[in-house]
Each structure stands twice: as structure tokens, then as C-alpha cells.
Structure 1
């Protein structure tokens, strides 16, 4: 679906007119293009005095990626990104110097630039002052993200105590958040729980050799996920209902994968899925529970016919299939399960009690299933999209759709590929230290967190 307003205020005469009239001008986002620079300019690395050692580690990693790295911001320099390392802050007073040093950098941040803050969780602090400082960083990240312009984003990486900035998932999260792959991830904190994971030999194809199942793959976000995983090296099993057979076959052929027509709510769905994977591919490394439906209605008018199918498809089917996979011998050595939640499951939405129950349920499922996946050498996480430009959102009435598009820090809807890129990151070897988490892909919606 095309955002006509975004195109108008960024091209030709209407761009100039919008500027003269002071109209909101959402930027064209910087998305991943093979061969494009990781960031659009030099990267400055800032820190508080106590975090200097970790900041040096981060700076060296950036140098290893052939980036132009600065440890201090010159008065006239323009930057593609800023990384602020605050892993050792002990008091709210420690935030003053590095955060205020970041302020002038934001004025000279390139369009599509990135700000990434690296910190520790408040829960692990050894004193009230340290906890206050760490929690304060959360507020800094979410607030500065709302101040950025030109399609720039601000996010954080929260390293569990004992996890070094050089851990695979810390490095992987840093590269993801700096890159165009995170275009619609804004105002979020990626929590790294452990040193697990493995850095890829090829950052363009981290999923080489992996076999991935994507449910609901015939169209929209599911088709984008299948294409993105395949583009990063995975062999894809595209799954959807028999009624979507032609579209499903088209996607499977496009990504050089296999198609499986399957109603995931059927009692034998998990058995049929496992049989297909074993016979065609031998094992399964990645499962993306994307299939989902809506049956919106105010709760006062809700019926079982509208409630039960939504819960059945959106959360009960992923629960049953994941349980079956865990007791099977089909999973690879480091399996990844990624589920589609929604910002509706976090903040709620009028007329969507059934949908919010199912997507909130997905988040609960992910949290509770994390130990079992860890025991199997893997991870389970969720992605919670906000307003994404799909056929489903195209059916929203015009005025409501326009408000929903602009109601985030980036002032636009995301694209299916934005969700797909985030899922691909969580499915990758370098995300092995992220488990039981939900990452929003919403442009920093002005609802919930």
C-alpha cells in the first residue's frame, strides 16, 4: 500500500510547498540495500568515564567493520551514527556529561542516522543509585528517539550483568540497530541475556544452511518474511491454508523453497509439518509463527464465532506446534522460534479484545517457553508490529488510517520488510543471547511503551 502523503512531501513542488506551510514531513526511511554503507557517515562513540573500557571495545568493533570512528565529536562534523556506552554508571549524576555531549551530535546527525545507547538493566544494580541511573537511561533512549528527525532512530542495547559488549548478541544487536534493517525499530531496548550465539562469517547471509518454516507465508508480512529469510541464505518452507494455494506456490517458487498447504489449527498440523520437514529437508532450524487473523468487534457485541478463531489461529496453534517441535527430534542444534505479537497485545486497541488477548498471549507464551528453548540450545522471541502497510490496513477507513500512520515518532507506517528484517535478526546465529523477549517494530508508537 502506498503512502501518498509521504511521497508528495518528499518530491518536487509539493515538497517545497509542504516545507513553506510547515506541514509534517515524514522522511523516506533508510532501509537495507546490498552494498550500501552500514551507516551514512562517521560514528562517534561517547561514554562516561567509568565505561571507557567497554566503549573502547565497541569502538574497535566498529573499526573492524571499516567504519570511520571518532571518540570525540568535533564542532563541525556530521555523523552517521552515535553510540553511547553507559555500562558502568553508578549514579544518575554520571549521566550528565555523556548525555549532554550527545545533544550537539543530534543536531548534526545525517538523515537516516542512528543513535544506540549501550547500558545494563536496573534489576541487576547493586545500589539504589545505580538502579536509578540505569532506569534513567531507559527514559533517555525513549525520549531522544521522539526528538530525532530525518528518519533517524534511537534505540538501546541492555546487556545483562556479566555480558560483555563483545558478546555475539551484543555485536549482532549493534550492527542490526545501526543498519538499514532496523528502519522502523525506534525507541526500543534490545535486551541481551547471555553470551550465547555465534557471529556469522557473512553478514549478508547469516542464515546460510538453515531451514526455516514460515506460517501465513502466502501474502503480506508472511511473504516478506519468506523472501527476507531466503535472501539471507535460508531454505524456506512456506506454509498457508489450502485456499491460498496459488499465492503460496508463487512465493515458494520465488524463494526456491517448498510449499505446504496446511490449516495450522488442525489437530494433526504439527505432525504434518514435521513429516514435510523431515522428508524434504531433514531438520528444522527456524520457525516463524506468523499466521494470524482478525475478527474485530466491540466486546459488548463479541460472539464466540469472532473470539474463538482468533485465539485458535493466533496463539493456540503456535503453542501446540512449538510443544510438538520441542519433543520431536527435528530441531537443529541452535533452533530459533520467532512469533508475531502486536502492539495491540501490549497497549490494547478499541474493538480488538479478542486480538489483543491472542497477541498478549503470544508474549506470555514466549516468556514462559524461553527456558525450554534454552535447554534445547535455542531461543524464542516475539516481534510486535505497529501500523504496517498491508492489504489488511488498507481496508481501514481513510481518516483512521491516516491517524494511525502518523501516530508514531517516524510519522508513517512501516513496510512488511521492516517486520521481516527484525525477524531475520532474531532468527540469526548472532541473536543466541536474546531469549524470551518481545521487540516492537512500530516506529515508536505513541501508545504503550
Structure 2
């Protein structure tokens, strides 16, 4: 559905009215339509800032060069080109005085960051800091990132943070490409952890990143699931798109468009995990990517909720995920260097009125990926969660007008996201080169006010 406020702002006959009323004027967010490029930053202007005694600047420099841009280390003079990318190594910030480096780096240039610009900071993981003071300061960088993202979000600028360990600097390439690329247009104010605990993949191509991989996407007939199936297919994956038999018409139509394989099944049925495992072994010899997208809501306040509504949501959103993973992992169906992505929600981060069942299931997935990550690391398997916010789908189209309009504005970029925005984050977390990130939950919500 089109955004009425954006239409009014762009119409000369009504733009003066929206301005007089003080309504937001959201920018058109920049998005990619195609697959990953070998050199996505060609033609862009990138600035690299360093903190004293930081350890990630050289890795950031190399990654930017590999992506097609040689960064400058001093801002161009006034009147020069706007900055498309700003990367800062803040890993040297270990005392309160060191936080001044953030002010010194960004105060002179924050107004010169281009619309739809990208900002990425790196910092030491507080858990790895040498002293309590250093841990506090590292966490202070996170507060800076989240606040700066709110200040510049109206221009479509994203600001994110990667906590990176010293022994994981060689794993910064793909996180930098994602968070500094157009694929991150609805991911801002977020944090990831780049570590070396997961065995690195043998091959980590940037182009056709998923060639030769077999992927399962559940709940794939429409919305985020369908966008994810399409995005994985763009990167060369063979995609099996699963949904309920009742969605067969939509599923076959969508799969025909992207050459995916339709599979009708109720994932909450007791025999579904074993049936799925058998299917992938017999058809493909195994699989490489599992995207747990299928989910349901049965919203009621707790006092008014019927017990079967509680059970249905927990069974589909959580129990089925765990059971399917157990079948795939116990039988070696999910191959080494595999990827698992679970769809959580901002409701699982912050809770939501009338969603005790849904929020419980989605919060549980956040705990699940964090607990599974170290167990799967020796096999090179990464598991992460994605938490969407207000995404424009058929469900939001059915909302009352005022509720929908308010929901669109409750984030830093003042507009709803698209299924493709969630699919971009899922695709990123599914690539072989993202061996540094596992156990994380990343929100794709435009830095929604709830939970961000």
C-alpha cells in the first residue's frame, strides 16, 4: 500500500498543508533491487575515522577498498561532495576521556552526510574489555550510535555498530558491505557482534553468494517469506518455499515467478520435522539454509485469551522451530557451514499489548539463538534472529487508517518498511561469509520507538 503522507508531501498542492501541520516529511529510502555486486561502493565518497590505539581501522580500510572505494581520512572542505559512507574505528575508546573521539569525529561532519548515507562504527565488545571502565566506555559507544541514528534518521541515514574482537578482523568485510550498503536501508541503531568462534566457511564469494546452496523458507506464500525466497534465489540458492496447503494457489504462483520449489505442509504437525528431513535428504542430500519465517498471531488480552489461542501460537512460532531444527541437526541434514535464521519480532524485544502469547514465543526465539550459537559453532553453523518492526504487508493494509498511519511514523525514518528490507537482512545472515555473527538478534524496524 502506498504511503499517503509521502504522497501529500510530494504534491505541490498539499505539501504546504502538511508542513504547516508539522507532519513528518519522510525521504524516499534508497534500496537495491538486484543481487550483491562485487564492488558496490564504486563512485561513493567514504570517510574513515580512527580512535587512538584502535585495532580495527586498517581492516575497515581494506574492506572499503575491496568494496570499490578508497576512503579519505579527512573530511573534504566545505562545498565538497557529501559523505556517502562514514566508518569509524572506536575500538581504542577505553576511558571516559576517549569518548571525546566520537564528538571530534562526527560533530564537524554530521550535517555533511548524504541523504541515505551510511554510518558504521566498530568498538571493543564490552565483555572482552580489559577493565570495568573500558567495558563501560565500549557500551557508551552503543548509546552514541543509537542516539545519533535517531538524530539523522529523517534523512534516511542509518547508523549501526559492530562489536568486533581482535581475532575476528578478517570477518569484517561482509558486515561492512551490508551495513554501509543500500541493503541496510531499514536497519539502523542496531548492534552486531563479530567474533571468531564459528569455523569460517571454505568459500566466501561476494557475488552469487549462495550459489550451490539449498534453502528452506517457511511461510513463503506471501509477504516477508516470499520476499525472502526471492532474495535468496537472486543470490543463486535453490529455494524450497513451504506454506500451509490452504495457501497453495499463492505459493505456486509465487514459486513459478522465481523458480522456487513449492512444498505444502503444516509445520506444527507432529510428523512434519521427520517428513522435512526425509524430503531434503532424498531430494538434495541435505540443506544449507533454514529460514524460520512461518508464524501466527492470535491476539487477545491475557484475561480474554482462550487456552487454544495460547497453544496455537506457541506451537507454531516456537515449538515447531525447535522440533524442525532438532530433526535437521540430529540427522546431519543441515550441512556444516549451514545458516539458521529465526524470525522474531520487536514484540519479542519490548512486549506488546494483547500479545502475551506472541511476545513470549518471539522472545523465546531470541534466547534460543543465543543458546544454540556456541553449540553449533564447531560445525561452522551460524544461527541468528531477525526482529521486524512495522513492515508494509497485507496485514498492515487491513489495519484501521489512523492506526496504520501512526505505526508508520513511530521510528527514526518516519515510514514503514517493506518485506524486501527484512529479506535483505535475512540474506545477509545466510551468506557463507557471515561466519563472524552468530547468536545475535538484529531488528529491522527503522529504529522503531518500541524496543529500539
TM-score interval, normalised by the smaller of the two chains? over 0.9
Identify the residue that residue 60 of structure 1 maps to in structure 2.
62
Q: Is the partner of 1:431 in helix, strand or coil?
A: coil
- After superposition, give the CA deviation of every residue in 1:28-69 in whole Å (9 maximum; x if it has no partner): 111114479538730100011212x53133112212222141
Unaligned runs of 5+ in 1: none
In the alignment, structure 1 residue 295 sits paired with structure 2 residue 298:
yes
Q: Give the deviation of 1:217 after TM superposition.
A: 0.4
Identify the residue that residue 322 of structure 1 maps to in structure 2.
325
Question: When the two structures are superposed, what TM-score results if normalisation uses the length of structure 2?
Answer: 0.94
In the alignment, structure 1 residue 82 sits paired with structure 2 residue 86:
yes
In the alignment, structure 1 residue 338 sits paired with structure 2 residue 338:
no
Identify the residue that residue 132 of structure 1 maps to in structure 2.
136
Paired residues of 1:342 and 1:385 also in contact (CA < 8 A): yes
Query: Structure 1 pair 427/4, CA: closer, same or farther in 2 (3 Å)?
Result: same
Q: Is the partner of 2:155 in helix, strand or coil?
A: coil
Paired residues of 2:41 and 2:68 also in contact (CA < 8 A): no
Q: Give the deviation of 1:101 after TM superposition.
A: 2.2
Identify the residue that residue 123 of structure 2 maps to in structure 1.
119
Identify the residue that residue 4 of structure 1 maps to in structure 2.
4
Identify the residue that residue 102 of structure 1 maps to in structure 2.
106
- After superposition, give the CA deviation of every residue in 1:292-315 in whole Å (9 maximum; x if it has no partner): 000111111011121111111100
Identify the residue that residue 214 of structure 1 maps to in structure 2.
217
Identify the residue that residue 242 of structure 1 maps to in structure 2.
245
Count, aligned residues: 445
Q: Which of 158, 161, 170 is matched with 2:163 structurally? A: 158
With 60-69 and 132-141 compared, the bigger mean Cα shift is at: 60-69
With 123-132 and 382-391 compared, the bigger mean Cα shift is at: 123-132
With 1-10 and 177-186 compared, the bigger mean Cα shift is at: 1-10
* Cα distance in 2 between the residues matched to 1:79 and 1:12: 29
Paired residues of 1:172 and 1:199 also in contact (CA < 8 A): no
With 364-373 and 319-328 compared, the bigger mean Cα shift is at: 364-373
In the alignment, structure 1 residue 232 sits paired with structure 2 residue 256:
no
* Cα distance in 1 between the residues matched to 2:411 and 2:246: 35
Question: When the two structures are superposed, what TM-score results if normalisation uses the length of structure 1?
Answer: 0.94
Paired residues of 2:129 and 2:135 also in contact (CA < 8 A): yes
* Cα distance in 2 between the residues matched to 1:226 and 1:3: 25
Q: Give the deviation of 1:248 after TM superposition.
A: 1.1
In the alignment, structure 1 residue 260 sits paired with structure 2 residue 263:
yes
Q: Give the deviation of 1:400 after TM superposition.
A: 1.5
Q: Is the partner of 1:155 in helix, strand or coil?
A: strand
* Cα distance in 2 between the residues matched to 1:116 and 1:179: 10
Identify the residue that residue 27 of structure 1 maps to in structure 2.
27
1:291-440 matches, cutoff 5 A: 291-440=294-443
